[in-house]
Amino acid sequence: MTDAQYPPETLGGILNRIAVIFAYAGGAVIAAVGLMSAISIIGRSAIGKPIIGDFELVEFGTAIAGTLFLAYCQTSYGHIVVDVFTLRVSNRTREWLDRLGSLLMAVMFFTVGWRTVAGLLDMFRNHETTMLMGVPLWIGYAGMVPGVMLAGVVALAQSLGIAAVSRIADE
């Protein structure tokens, strides 16, 4: 199977395109964090003026970017798979196990998403902010929710047999 068998107008194709967009957005966030860190380090070294609260921005950025990569990892079957026990099983059994694994991943992603939303609401109600910059913490939580929830939707779709991309032939 090739990716051409999953045209963009199918649910799998749409999920794949959204996951790729999220992954690029995560890459842009990481690039921005890296650039900001470099500027802060140069400012600290050269003129004694770093970006105040740079580590807070790094924490926000890496948390958000990490969740934005999850859906692409799920669509491309990029998670670690230990197949030593399934090398000799039939394709049908392997497909069933893959669907079960995707269902378990969906449950995990939705649970993490639910708890992230709970944390977001808690931070919002308590008006908690970062120590140096005073940025509301709920903003970081809000940035994490879309990536985790999209990964959950992708995993749920895979558990129902809706593939976003085809697997490599030797898998």
How many domains, the chain?
1
Give this prediction's pTM.
0.86
Per DSSP, helices labelled H in 89-137 are 91-126
Query: What are phi and psi for residue 163, nearest 5 degrees?
Result: -85, 140
Can you tell me whether residue 133 is helix, strand or coil? coil
Instruction: Look at residue 169 and tell me if it is in a domain.
Output: no
Instruction: Look at residue 41 and tell me if it is in a domain.
Output: yes
Instruction: Look at residue 134 and tell me if it is in a domain.
Output: yes
Instruction: Look at residue 171 and tell me if it is in a domain.
Output: no
Instruction: Look at residue 80 and tell me if it is in a domain.
Output: yes
Instruction: Look at residue 63 and tell me if it is in a domain.
Output: yes
Instruction: Look at residue 119 and tell me if it is in a domain.
Output: yes
In this predicted structure, which of 25-29, 61-65, 67-71, 91-95 has the lowest mean pLDDT? Answer: 91-95
In the prediction, which pLDDT does 77 show? Answer: 81
Query: In sequence order, what are the beta bridge partners of 129?
Result: 136
- Name the residue range of residue 147's domain: 9-159
State the average pLDDT for the chain: 89
Q: What is the pLDDT of residues 40-90, one digit of tens each?
A: 999 999 998 989 989 999 999 999 999 999 999 999 887 777 777 777 888
Burial of 68 (0-12, 13-18, 19+ CB in 10 A): buried
Instruction: Look at residue 167 and tell me if it is in a domain.
Output: no
- Give me the DSSP letters along 20-70: HHHHHHHHHHHHHHHHHHHHHHHHHHHTS-PPTTHHHHHHHHHHHHHHHHH
Asked if residues 144 and 119 have their Cβ atoms less than 8 Å apart, the reply is no
